[in-house]
Amino acid sequence: MKVHIEKQCKKYPYRNQDKKQKIPSFQTNTETGSSLVAIGFNNEHCRKALAKMVIVDELSFRFVEGERFKNFCQVTQPRFSIPSRVTIAKDIYQLFLEERKKLRAEFCKGSQRICLATDCWTSLQNINYLCLTAHYVDSEWTLQKMIINFCQLSSHKGEGVGKVIESCLHAWGIERVFTMIVDNVSSNNSMITYLRRKIKGWKGVVLGGEFLHVRCCAHIVNLIVNEGLKDLHDSIAVIHNVVRYVRSSPATLLKFKSCVEREKIEYKGLVCLDVPTRWNSTYMMLDAAIKFQKAFERYEEEDDKFVSYFREDGGGKRKIAPPLDDDWENVKVFVKFLKTFYDITLKFSATLNVTSNSYFHELCEMQNQLSELSKQEDSMLSSMAVSMKKKYAKCWGNVENINCLLFVAVVLDPRYKMDYLTYCFSIVYDSCTSETLAKNVKDTMYRLHEVYSGEKGEYVANESSGEAATSTTEGKTEVEGKGCL
């Protein structure tokens, strides 16, 4: 090895650049895994790597001015000129400009269509925000997710939001918009109407943006489950209060951990408090609390204040005792009940794989679960299921509220195809609705085929008859109607 390094040193002699002696260093060649190649020190490359580290690890700009970091750099590479926090901020901004330029070029030159997702909210400071995310498949067939805008809004009115999104699309050079996922609120309907009117003539927009509007499935599931949990059962309130109590101070939490150790509970997690606006946090709170049932029972024996915890109830306050056996049994039933919807939400919220082809299966699963639970003898579960079923019917009962592309995605999945979808329609809906849905899906697929088969030519849609014609640039061949599929 020593002889090999000496040969490499002779092959790559020292160079005197900027009147400083450049001492070569060596690293393993990743291609061969054995030979060594010489590499030179580059201050700019180090600064760019440092900027990426600050971004990816979400470090503050002040990190580069830390004493320990400076000491680390002095030991590893004394020649590296450590930038100040102002300089690293400029480096990060420059890196952002470079990456934005690359992404814009990819959007402009690429042939892929872009699926957009929006999220609007109001902060505690009453400031309105918009986040716009682009989903697409790149030239290497890899699913990509990019946040292309994060900005303040003057209001959440539909047309105002639509103008902001339109401006963002122009800035990025995005024309091939396929779908847009939005929350299930009325203001988004006017926003979609505005955007559909503006992008109708854009290059690459399919059928004039007819299938642009996609309602967020995860948001609808959230609305459905929140409807069932609107009137929280006393058992859930009891668990909420005891979890809140043990996490109210470091002393109570330390005492609770001591109870966990003495009960020899092997679960490595800890109890967590739920958030009123997120039902899945209620599920996680109950699921974790069940694992610590024995610890709560021991804690009750050792802390007298544990039994005098209060909460608001109606017009006044009433005492909530520590959980009884019945409370724990009820909570176990709740957890089993909510797990189905929790798993569905996770599948809808996945970002590393395509979820459109799994939508219909989860919708059927949810409807079956609600139908079975509404017939349960347990009045507590049946009443929750009935209220959730009403909300389900309001959001998804009308098939016109469901984007037909979500059904097409099931047909294009090689595991299912059209016969499977038709069979599922016959089970979920009545005969008239199922036949209408099946016909709409077939017609949509024929129309989409006409668009995609003639993309190199000029697509002309006949709005009066619903048919389409495609004239290609090479052979002047016309394809009309539905004979291609």
CB atoms inside a 10 Å sphere around CB 479: 17
The domain spans of the chain are 1-40, 110-215, 233-355, 417-480
- Listed in sequence order, the residues at least 6 apart from 187 whose beta carbon sits closer than 8 Å to its beta carbon are 156, 157, 158, 161
What secondary structure letter does DSSP report for 52?
Answer: H
The two structure tokens encoding residue 9: 């040193």
Give the model's pLDDT for residue 19: 41
CA gap 468, 18 in Å, rounded: 68
Give the model's pLDDT for residue 34: 55
Give the model's pLDDT for residue 393: 81
What letters, b where the CB count within 10 A reaches 16 and e where it falls short, cover 17-48?
eeeeeeebeeeeeeeeeeebeeeeeeeeebbb
Give the model's pLDDT for residue 88: 94
Give the model's pLDDT for residue 27: 57
Decide if domain 110-215 falls under CATH 3.30.420: yes
H helices of 33-145, where? 43-56, 67-76, 85-109
Task: Report which of 111, 108, 107, 174 is spatially closest to residue 455, judged by C-alpha positions.
Answer: 111
Coil/strand/helix, residue 474: coil
306: phi then psi, degrees, rounded to nearest 5:
-60, -30
457: phi then psi, degrees, rounded to nearest 5:
-105, -140
DSSP calls for 218-270: HHHHHHHHHHHTSS--HHHHHHHHHHHHHTSSHHHHHHHHHHHHHTT----S-
449 with 410: CB under 8 angstroms? no
Give the model's pLDDT for residue 154: 85
CA gap 220, 218 in Å, rounded: 5
Which residues in the chain show pLDDT less than 70? 1-38, 231-232, 277, 306-321, 455-485
Give the model's pLDDT for residue 15: 40
CA gap 40, 16 in Å, rounded: 12
Give the model's pLDDT for residue 167: 92
